[in-house]
Amino acid sequence: MEQPAVRTQALRKEFGSVVAVEALDLTVVRGEIFGLVGPDAAGKTTTFRMLCGILPPTSGAAFVLGFDLRRQPEAVKRRLGYMSQRFSLYGDLTVLENLAFFSDIYHVPRRERAARRQELLEFSRLVPFQKRLAQDLSGGMKQKLALACTLMHTPEILFLDEPTTGVDPVSRRDFWHILYQLSEQGVTLVVSTPYMDEAERCTRVGLMHRGRLIHADTPAALKQRMAGDLLEMTCKPAQGCKELLQDLPGVRSVQTFGERLHVWLKNADRDQPVVETALARAGIVTAHLRRIPPTLEDVFVSVIEAQREAQA
């Protein structure tokens, strides 16, 4: 049986009295795209830094590509790539010079460097911009250059911490096209993202909250975990509608999605008539009301709400 790319057992990280990651049991299969999602301070970045050998864990065990991070951190570092939220490119160097610099950093054999740089320039579609200063690139191009620099030493596994934050939708799509190509080549990808549409693209997704991994499964399986039913509606006045709904029995949560509301009910057969009656009595007009399957964002919100209810 092949060893997983990542395996952790009761991994924990404390910063003084603050527990950033707690009891983390995580398995990432080789070759998959594993997405890690969660709100700010959920523990995603701390998890990545431990798995890359940058931060020592307070307790627990972690293995990456079969290497024990406590005893063999340098062996792991030679085989992985890490792209942090603020990947440091050198703005006063050109695209080509940045790649050359990271060739030195990663000790890429000199006889391989020119071919590897050209391969990455073509792979990231940066050939026309190879003489441009990094500081003059668009946000999407900077991220592609950062990824190319991370790939200079041909890592077996990539940890990408919110790599497309602040990047326009077209560039995000191009970036994910590159990630799919890497996955097809056998590279394991572990990606944290604040975008639920990106999480949908992953093989499996882990939901983190307050340092704990709550669930990890395929996007389809996670959606099936959502207990209750989801209504989508538009109503006027929208704010008054939301405030009224939040106080009704049977309503777990109400979230705004543009002009529409997603109303999470404990049981639609029982609770939907109550909702419709309450809105009508309040003089609130509903132009659109239907049951819908949950998105990953709905699932994530429901998980957080369930955690809060359990803690209360």
Q: Which CATH number among 3.30.70.100, 3.40.50.880, 3.30.1300.10, 3.40.50.720 corresponds to the domain 227-293?
A: 3.30.70.100
Two structure tokens written together for 24: 């983390």
Q: Looking at residues 255-280, what average pLDDT do you find? A: 86
Topology of domain 6-217, per CATH? Rossmann fold (3.40.50)
pLDDT at 312: 61
Q: How far apart are CA 259 and CA 248, in angstroms?
A: 21
Residue 197 has pLDDT above 90, yes or no: no
Domain boundaries, the chain: 6-217, 227-293
What's at 50, amino acid-wise? M
Q: How far apart are CA 293 and CA 304, in angstroms?
A: 18
Between 86 and 212, name the one with better pLDDT.
Answer: 212
pLDDT at 157: 96
Beta bridge partners of 18: 15
pLDDT at 309: 66
Q: How far apart are CA 216 and CA 204, in angstroms?
A: 7
Q: How far apart are CA 190 and CA 6, in angstroms?
A: 9
pLDDT at 216: 92
3-state secondary structure of 131: coil
Q: Could you give the C-alpha distances from 51 to 24, 68, 124, in angstroms and in order?
A: 12, 10, 26
Summarised one tens digit per residue, pLDDT across range 4-60 is 999 999 999 999 999 999 999 999 999 999 999 988 888 999 999 999 999 999 999
Beta bridge partners of 98: none
What percentage of the chain has pLDDT greater than the value 70? 97
Summarised one tens digit per residue, pLDDT across range 170-184 is 888 888 988 999 999
DSSP secondary structure of 6-43: EEEEEEEEEETTEEEEEEEEEEE-TT-EEEEE--TTSS
Name 309's Cβ contacts closer than 8 Å, sequence gap at least 6.
Answer: none
Summarised one tens digit per residue, pLDDT across range 229-239 is 888 988 887 77
Summarised one tens digit per residue, pLDDT across range 70-89 is 898 888 888 999 998 776 78
Q: How far apart are CA 158 and CA 268, in angstroms?
A: 42
Q: How far apart are CA 275 and CA 150, in angstroms?
A: 52
The answer to whether residues 296 and 205 touch, using CB atoms and an 8 Å cutoff, is yes
pTM of the model: 0.86
pLDDT at 311: 66
The answer to whether residues 214 and 39 touch, using CB atoms and an 8 Å cutoff, is no
Two structure tokens written together for 2: 């092949």
Largest distance between two CA atoms of the chain: 78
Nearest to 189 by CA among 50, 51, 1: 51
Q: For tokens 């132009």, what's the residue?
A: 287
Mean per-residue pLDDT of the chain: 88
Name 252's Cβ contacts closer than 8 Å, sequence gap at least 6.
Answer: 228, 264, 265, 266, 302, 305
Confidence of residue 1 (pLDDT cuts 50, 70, 90): low
Per DSSP, 201 falls in state: T
Q: Classify residue 99 by burial, with Cβ atoms within 10 Å: 0-12, 13-18, 19+.
A: buried
